[in-house]
Amino acid sequence: MRRSALDKYICELEGLPALSREALEALQLRRLNELLSREKARGGFYRGLPAGVGSLAELSALPFTTAEELSANAPGLLLTSQAEVERIISGVTSGTTGPAKRVFYTRRDLEHTVGFFAAGISEFTSPGDSVLIAMPFSGPDGLGELICRAVASLGANPVRAGVGRSLGELAGLTRRFSPAAYIGMSVPLLGLLRYMGRSSLSRALVSGDACPEGVCAGIERLLGTRLFPHYGSREMCLGGAVTCAAHSGMHIRENHILVEIVDKNGRVLPDGERGELVITTLDMEAMPLIRYRTGDVARIVPGPCACGCVCRRLERVSRAEDVMERLDSALFRLPGLVDYRASLGPDGALLLDAVGSVRAGQLEEACAALGFAARAKVRPVSAGFRGSYPGKRSLTEAAAAQPV
């Protein structure tokens, strides 16, 4: 098997002749200690932590950082001057109240992300390919533009689709530019493939939302190739872990991000066990985080990868609240379903507003098999359909429910 591009990227960036577990962990320990001493020197948010540790194992004795602390302390968490900050991402996760989480990046932080993206994308993209990018475009250093720069650095052609386009518009872009690959969320891709039928698309990287098993299986059947899932979040400067040619989990960019999996009491779990994903962003210049609890659930795939890369692998990352993911996984196994919106009715039944050629009874039966009472209505798909959700998929509460 071809050597993973991530391995090559890390060796080049860090000046290492070869990537071994020992070399990677020595780098992580050095970075962790540099970070702890930077915090002390600058009187940062983490100034109360020890100025250094003797081993990576000692990380588990340090306190966690929560999403609430991140929301309340963004300026205190910043380790550079405001002038060095290239981009601020802020936002409130749906369903929560209180101050928005703000995350800052420097030019160097963003360039690291572009390099990591390019390594991941090169696993399925060749020079001259066109790549349809169905991710948000929100300014010069937004996610969409960072992906474009990574694609262009490989000699491939980015096609800026963005999010919120209709199926007809996306099909038009696909006919016009004949993209070989797609980068975007999984459910919109499955809906597009089902709407278009045959197309030039044959490979895809899915990210930005959960990757339910039934959805991925449906996409892989239509593309005729295995998917390249990616996991990232704003807290890790958007790029975190990406799939190699072995398709056996997502390799973490461990030169920049240290990952732990913990149980609900905060105890570190061994590789192979599922628990909450905790990240330490070792080499972020603007806003490094120490032991940040992501609220996402994942496991580390134990043992070495067939591709030879020694970076550890994350398997299927889920949100802690995964009802929508379970529904998506089951319902999208029905081949006629293009998309649907789910809400919880006042009587506790699920209300499904679906698009496609599936029958309402089939959707209701699939929900019943998961233990949910449901009432569904189905509309035929049209060229003007723009998707049931503008971003991440979630079950809405009764107040927002549309009568069925």
Q: Which residues bind Zn ion (CB under 5 A)?
A: 244, 246, 305, 307, 309
CA distance 130 to 50: 49
Closest distance between Zn ion and the C-beta of residue 274, in Å?
20
Closer residue to Zn ion, CB minimum distance, 101 or 299? 299
Closest distance between Zn ion and the C-beta of residue 293, in Å?
27
Closer residue to Zn ion, CB minimum distance, 200 or 248? 248
Closer residue to Zn ion, CB minimum distance, 178 or 248? 248
Closer residue to Zn ion, CB minimum distance, 246 or 395? 246
Residue 268, sorted as left (phi over 0), alpha (psi -120 to 50) or beta, turns out to be beta
Structure tokens at 304: 């070495």
For residues 105 and 86, is the Cβ–Cβ distance under 8 A?
yes
C-alpha to C-alpha distances, 81 to 32, 34, 77, 106, 365, nearest whole angstrom:
21, 18, 11, 10, 57
Closest distance between Zn ion and the C-beta of residue 306, in Å?
6
Closer residue to Zn ion, CB minimum distance, 301 or 342? 301
Q: Are β-strands 374-379 and 350-356 bridged in parallel, bridged antiparallel, or unpaired?
A: parallel
Closest distance between Zn ion and the C-beta of residue 381, in Å?
37
C-alpha dihedral over 210, 211, 212, 215, to 10 degrees?
A: 130
CA distance 206 to 189: 8
Structure tokens at 31: 């970075």
The residue among 22, 70, 87 whose CA lies nearest residue 290 is: 70
Closer residue to Zn ion, CB minimum distance, 305 or 324? 305
Closer residue to Zn ion, CB minimum distance, 171 or 246? 246
Closest distance between Zn ion and the C-beta of residue 253, in Å?
13
CA distance 199 to 205: 16
Q: Which amino acid is at 177?
A: F
CA distance 149 to 105: 17
Q: Are β-strands 275-281 and 292-301 bridged in parallel, bridged antiparallel, or unpaired?
A: antiparallel
Closest distance between Zn ion and the C-beta of residue 277, in Å?
19
Place of tokens 């493939």: 193
Closest distance between Zn ion and the C-beta of residue 350, in Å?
38
For residues 115 and 6, is the Cβ–Cβ distance under 8 A?
no
Closest distance between Zn ion and the C-beta of residue 395, in Å?
34
Is the dihedral angle over the CA atoms 291, 293, 299, 301 positive or is it negative? negative
HEC secondary structure over 380-391: CCCCCCCCCCCC
Within 21-73, residue ranges assigned H as helices are: 21-42, 67-72
Closest distance between Zn ion and the C-beta of residue 246, in Å?
4
Closer residue to Zn ion, CB minimum distance, 306 or 398? 306
Closer residue to Zn ion, CB minimum distance, 244 or 252? 244
